Amino acid sequence: MVSPSSTSVVPPSSVIVLGAGMIGTCTALHLQQRGCQVTLIDRREPGRETSYGNAGLIQRESVEPYPFPRQWRKLWQVLWQSGADVHYHLKALPSLIGPLWGYYRHSGPALYPQVVQAYSRLIAHCVTEHQALMQGVDTQNLVSPTGYLDGFRTPAAWAAAVKDAQRLTEAFGIRHQVLDSAGMAQAEPALHARLAGGLLWQDPWAVSDPGALVRRYAEAFAQRGGTLAEADIQQLHAKGAGWQVETSQGQFEASAVVLALGPWAARWTQTLGYRMPLFVKRGYHQHYAAGGRLNRPLLDAESGYVLAPMQRGMRLTTGAEFAPVDAAPTPVQVTKAERLARQWLDLRDPLDDPPWLGARPCTADMLPVMGPAPRHPGLWFNFGHAHQGFTLGPVAGRLLAELITGETPFIDPTPYCASRF
């Protein structure tokens, strides 16, 4: 880490990237590849927040973002918080009404197909773009192309999922293998329960320490001449033809700034006068000491949590909690999911006290915000990647870097522009 210099020279093609999660770090790498002089600022080491605690999946199969449930039975379960997958803070609901209504509308038959089209175009490149960034980065023992399993408790849910998987394969070419009860036991011998069946998604990759992958990308950025700065960002304003960022470690200046602050982006967009339907879905994780170990991540598809084999132990990650990003932790979903997971796998003692808490940065239309800030020349947005920000980092970084440097973007950026709101 370096401190800012006392002189405030604005070099040409200089860019400051705010936030060193997966999104900011990949943006910095891509800008650097295009000849920009880049400073990447975060108040912590790279990859220590949301990009640290996720399930570590590079989700090539996830071409359809999670829609708002529309079946009465499911809505009822969500309302009463009777499952492990959704929890909410009652006090948070009034401020969530607007974004959740938008989320509900975009999940309906009129809008959802367009959302899927725009989302799947990004997901299509996730593995190849990670692969490109991994060139020259040590990812040994960190990344494996193991695929990802959905496990089912009931034959009815399994049969419905098999049908849906067939549809995804036909529409998007996503490869999958249908596993019956014996097939699941063979694929994952550590499971001590007999599952109804499963689906093996063959294209996703699994990362056994997601924070470490971000850190290695950031180390590569620094080795190639990029500047990493550990500082708390306090103010952001236009200065002359460029931008000035005031931090706990002094001022930084550049001709352009990228806001890649993940779940904290909303605070900054509001200050700058933008009204966007942003919200977070919080999520927890807990690690367990070695007991049964899976060969690859496994989703308990009817209960909404993931078990992922990580370097630290088996990591259980929870579904969505609707609460303000900085509200006190309420890890009830960890307790519920742990009870269910123990029916499947021998989990020893929990290792995190308290469980880790993070927040998925979400938008009402399920699409990330990537492109220029409509009313602030030289300011760029890259946030709102929701459930797949770890997957999409390199795609988002490349797209934004191409826009900033005036290259022809490899994906049509129109659906992700901030001006859509």
Ligand X SMILES: Cc1cc2nc3c(=O)[nH]c(=O)nc-3n(C[C@H](O)[C@H](O)[C@H](O)COP(=O)(O)OP(=O)(O)OC[C@H]3O[C@@H](n4cnc5c(N)ncnc54)[C@H](O)[C@@H]3O)c2cc1C
Q: Summarize as ranges the residues that interact with ligand X (CB under 6 A).
A: 19-24, 42-44, 48-51, 54-57, 59, 232-233, 260-264, 283, 285, 317-318, 358, 360-361, 383, 385-391
Instruction: Provide, rounded to whole angstroms, the least separation between the CB of residue 156 and ligand X.
Output: 26
Rounded CA gap, 26 and 399, in Å?
A: 10
Rounded CA gap, 233 and 52, in Å?
A: 20
324 token code pair: 């303000």
Instruction: Provide, rounded to whole angstroms, the least separation between the CB of residue 22 and ligand X.
Output: 5
Q: Compute CA distances 403 → 203, 221, 279, 317, 395, whole Å.
A: 28, 20, 26, 34, 12
Pairing state of beta strands 313-317 and 305-310? antiparallel
Instruction: Provide, rounded to whole angstroms, the least separation between the CB of residue 148 and ligand X.
Output: 9
Closer CB to ligand X, 194 or 253, in the complex: 253
Closer CB to ligand X, 7 or 234, in the complex: 234
158 token code pair: 């399994």
> Other C-beta atoms within 10 Å of 148: how many?
26
Q: In degrees rounded to 5, what are phi and psi of residue 308?
A: -125, 130
Closer CB to ligand X, 233 or 323, in the complex: 233
> Other C-beta atoms within 10 Å of 96: how many?
18
> Other C-beta atoms within 10 Å of 296: how many?
21
Instruction: Provide, rounded to whole angstroms, the least separation between the CB of residue 91 and ligand X.
Output: 21
Q: In what order do the strands lie in the sheet with 233-239?
A: 233-239, 242-247, 250-254
Closer CB to ligand X, 180 or 230, in the complex: 230
Rounded CA gap, 358 and 51, in Å?
A: 9
Instruction: Provide, rounded to whole angstroms, the least separation between the CB of residue 288 and ligand X.
Output: 15
Closer CB to ligand X, 36 or 258, in the complex: 258
Instruction: Provide, rounded to whole angstroms, the least separation between the CB of residue 181 and ligand X.
Output: 26
Instruction: Provide, rounded to whole angstroms, the least separation between the CB of residue 221 and ligand X.
Output: 14
Closer CB to ligand X, 186 or 311, in the complex: 311
